[in-house]
Amino acid sequence: MLFRSIVLLTVFLSLFTGMAFAQTVPRTASGKPDFQGIWQVQNRASYNVQSHTARYDMLPGMGVVVDGEIPYQPWALEQKNTNFANRETVDPLSKCFLPGVPRIMYMEHPFHIFQADEHVAITFEWTQVFRLIYTNGQQTMYPGLNSWMGNSRGGWEGDVLVVEVTEHNDQTWFDAAGNFHSDALHLTERYRMLDENTIDYEVTIVDENVFTRPWAIGMTLHRQTHMDRILEFQCQAEVEEANGDFERDVRTWYPAVIPADNELFDANAGADLPELVVAADIPRLPDGTPDISGYYMADGGGANYGLETFAGRFLLPDSRGVVIDPPDGLLPYQNWARAERIDREGAHRGYEDPTAHCFLGGVPRSHYVPAPFFFLQPPGHVVVLHERMSYRQIFLDGRAHLPDHIRLWQGDSVGRWEGDTLVVESTNFNGKSWLNEVGDVVSHAQTVVETFTPVTADQIIYRATVSDPITSTRPWTIEIPFNREDQEILETACLEDNNDLGHLRDVRDEYRAAQKASSQEK
Amino acid sequence: MLRLLTTLFILASGTLAGNTLAHHSFAAEFDNTKPVELTGTVTEMKWSNPHAWIYMDVEDESGNVVNWALESISGNVLIRRGWRKADLPAGIVVSVVGWQARNASPTASIRFVTLSDGRRLFAGTGTATPATEE
């Protein structure tokens, strides 16, 4: 009798919740629940997905495992206990490595869900990693390619977004307590919106190499209503700046001031650029905006090895020269910046290029490093997912830039469509980026105005005008075509396999030792 | 499969060389005065980004075996050209030409991998070619 009453009550409650659900969740133009926005958990699962008491390195928390216990095979339980004992050094996150899924979904870092009709992107504060979830039925082009963040393919079961995450590697953990899996891991995520500020998030976990049966975790994602954009947490950069492995450049990093002996910067100088013609048959979104979504590779012309024209250098590809203003193709450097650029090409400076450390490329460099990118056009935004593991969030709502003291690797980008050209203004740079491997120089004072013009269905002409009163005498502009390709974005786990940095450091240290010895002789 | 690879590598050498590089300066890391020509047995192909690595046991003049780390273009680029990890299995004997790292460690940026039957695969970067190849 009691059981029957409970069943009836449950049925009644589910009907009631179903009705409330239908009424209160925001929906996209195509009628799906609209998950777009910034989300974060409010739990301690990132320390340990099971209930746990406090330790010196762990805040206490109730578990998120549905049945409480993780059904480890006996050997695997021993491995988990070993992981726990050695967690300070063997936890992948202790080395700033990629956290994998599902761990990244419940770390104490917010993430932004961007929702377009054929894809959902999740961009994370943690090291600017992203997930691209295909919801259009597209199958992977590269089956069997294991990665840190796995391969996410999703679809809708009614109002529930269901995502299968497969092809993980065996390097990531579920939490900081050493709960782990093998590369046979298969996740099924279910995102169900309870109301406009709440998502019920469940993950079913199958891994026959490690567990005796499937198990599940469940938790709530909360909309971060106090945030209007994600900032950056570059884990490894913070570590290296703190321990001295990555040194401040006093002339370019924020808050360097313009030196008194700098030459005057003429903000109004600049040639008229040739007008671009947009083909009549470019694809368009329902509102008429050009549809630029998809995978592109820049025809970078060697810009990553010099923005000006170069040829025949050892182990550096030729640069065709991408500077279209000034018309002579030369960057309008101040004298100190030209001297710095030449010095940076020396082997002893190679260690200082931030991308050699796997840090972010900055703007405009992210668009001509030799790696593809993917444009997504969810309502109100253009999002760029760079295969070199970073992203750009471009806001189209006309918002003000961030406060001046908030400084970012990728800057703060606000854009608008002017006719068929996307115009993006970016400010708030931290000045840590190099423009390429030979060290073309910019500072935190740069403002970048970019135009993305889809001249055909398969090509965007990209222009970036950089105004930097610390390094230049006038604004300069580069132009690079982006070509659409029938390809898919893969993962670049740069830091995880970066064998080169130590060699570059040896070269620098040897140079510095020689300089020191030479100055002592004098 | 190796025939396919040869085709892919030859294709790559012409069209993609300038488009498939690096996250750091190869010119800073490697020494143009130290061209190397090595023959040995592959011990591991590391399928990584932004650079893939081939590890190879090479016997030096005194008979000691040294494990060399040979840096190639990125794993993602190799995959898009049709390479798979199993295509260069441990145990296969190959020759490479390239340049040694400035820090004199057994590390080289490789330009070509030559298989035991004489076919040559492009794996390198930039436009420079070691003197031994000219």
Predicted local distance difference test score (pLDDT) of residue A515: 95
**Per the structure block, which two tokens stand in for B128?**
């420079």
What 3-state class would DSSP assign to A111?
Answer: strand
**Token reading at B82:** 């049709």
Inspect the interface and report whether the beta carbons of A507 and B102 lie closer than 8 Å: yes
Q: How far apart are alpha carbons A293 and A325 in whole angstroms? A: 28
Q: Give contacts of B28 with chain A, Cβ < 8 Å.
A: 346-351, 504, 507
Q: Rounded to two decimals, what is the model's pTM?
A: 0.92
Q: What is the ipTM of this complex?
A: 0.86
Q: Residue A173 has what DSSP assignment?
A: B
- Whole-number percent of chain A with pLDDT over 70: 96
Residue A340 per-residue DSSP state? H
pLDDT range class, residue B124, cuts 50, 70, 90: low
A67-74 long-range contacts (CB < 8 A, ≥24 apart) are A67/A215, A67/A216, A69/A215, A70/A179, A70/A211, A70/A215, A71/A211, A71/A212, A71/A213, A71/A215, A72/A210, A72/A211, A72/A212, A73/A210, A73/A211, A73/A212
| B25 with A350: Cβ contact below 8 A | yes
C-alpha span between A290 and A209 (Å, rounded): 48
E-only strand ranges, A304-458 = 309-310, 319-320, 323-325, 373-376, 381-386, 390-395, 412-418, 421-427, 447-456
Strands (E), A91-185: 111-115, 119-124, 130-134, 151-157, 160-166
pLDDT of B14 reads 33
Token output for A257: 């001031």
Q: Does B53 lie at the interface with A, CB-CB under 8 angstroms? A: yes
Which residues on chain B are in Cβ contact (under 8 Å) with A507? 28-29, 102-103
- pLDDT, tens digit, for every residue of A301-322? 999 999 999 998 888 889 999 9
pLDDT digit string (tens) for A340-378?
999 999 999 999 999 999 999 999 999 999 999 999 999
- Which pLDDT score is estimated for B111? 83
Q: Where are the domains of chain B?
A: 2-15+24-126
Cα-flanking dihedrals φ and ψ of residue A191, to 5°? -110, 115
Strands (E), chain B: 30-46, 53-59, 65-71, 93-101, 107-115, 120-122
Kindly state whether B1 is in contact with chain A, defined as any CB-CB distance less than 8 angstroms: no
* Contact assignment for A316 to B80 by CB distance below 8 Å: no
Q: Which of residues 473-502 of A touch B (CB under 8 A)?
A: 487, 490-494, 496-497, 499-501
Residue range A457-478: mean pLDDT, rounded: 98
Domains with residue ranges and CATH for chain A: 13-223 (2.40.128.20), 254-484 (2.40.128.20)
For chain A, what is the mean pLDDT? Answer: 94
Give me the CATH code for the B2-15+24-126 domain, please: 2.40.50.140
Q: For B48-79, how does the pLDDT look when each residue is reduced to its tens digit (9 = 90+)?
A: 888 989 999 999 889 999 999 999 888 898 88
Neighboring chain B residues of A347 at a CB cutoff of 8 Å = 25, 27-29, 102
- Phi-psi region for residue A111, left (φ > 0), alpha (ψ -120 to 50) or beta? beta
**Mean pLDDT, range A266-295, rounded to an integer:** 96
Residue A499's pLDDT is 87
Contact between chains at A304 and B21 (C-beta distance less than 8 A): yes
**Taking residues A260-270, what's their average pLDDT?**
89
- The model's confidence at residue A429, banded by pLDDT at 50, 70 and 90, is very high
Pick the range with the lowest mean pLDDT from A180-184, A402-406, B2-6.
B2-6
Average pLDDT, integer, range A53-67: 96
Peptide bond into A255 cis (omega under 30): yes
C-alpha distances in Å from residue A296, one per residue of A99, A355, A375, A481: 27, 21, 8, 10
Judge whether B17 is closer than 8 Å to chain A, CB to CB. Answer: yes
pLDDT of residue B125: 56
CA–CA gap between residue A166 and residue A378 (Å, rounded): 25
**A393 vs B48, residue with greater confidence:** A393
Q: What is the pLDDT of residues B38-49, one digit of tens each?
A: 999 999 988 888
Does A350 contact B103 at a Cβ distance shorter than 8 Å?
Answer: no
For A112-153, write each residue's pLDDT tens digit: 999 999 999 999 999 999 999 999 999 999 999 999 999 999
Interface contact A378, partner B, CB < 8 A: no
Decide the pairing of beta strands B93-101 and B107-115.
antiparallel
In whole angstroms, what is the distance from residue A304 CA to residue A319 CA? 8
What was the pLDDT predicted at A5? Answer: 52
Q: Within a 13 Å sphere around the CA of A326, how many CA atoms are in the beta-carbon half?
A: 12
Q: Please name the residue of chain A whose CA is at the shortest distance from the CA of residue B33.
A: A314
> Collapsing DSSP states into helix, strand and coil, what is residue B35?
strand
Tokens 């579920």 sit on residue = A174
Cβ-based contacts of B30 with chain A (< 8 Å)? 315
Q: How far is A468 from chain B (nearest CA, A)?
A: 24
Contacts of A328 (CB under 8 A, 6+ apart): none
Backbone angles phi, psi at A256, to 5 degrees: -55, 140
Q: Residue B23: pLDDT band by 50, 70, 90 thresholds?
A: confident
Cβ-proximal residues to A244 (8 Å cutoff; 6+ apart), any chain? none
Write out the DSSP string of A265-285: P-TT--PPPPPP---TT--B-
Condensed to tens digits (0 to 9), the pLDDT of residues B73-116 reads 888 988 887 777 777 889 999 999 999 999 999 999 988 788 88
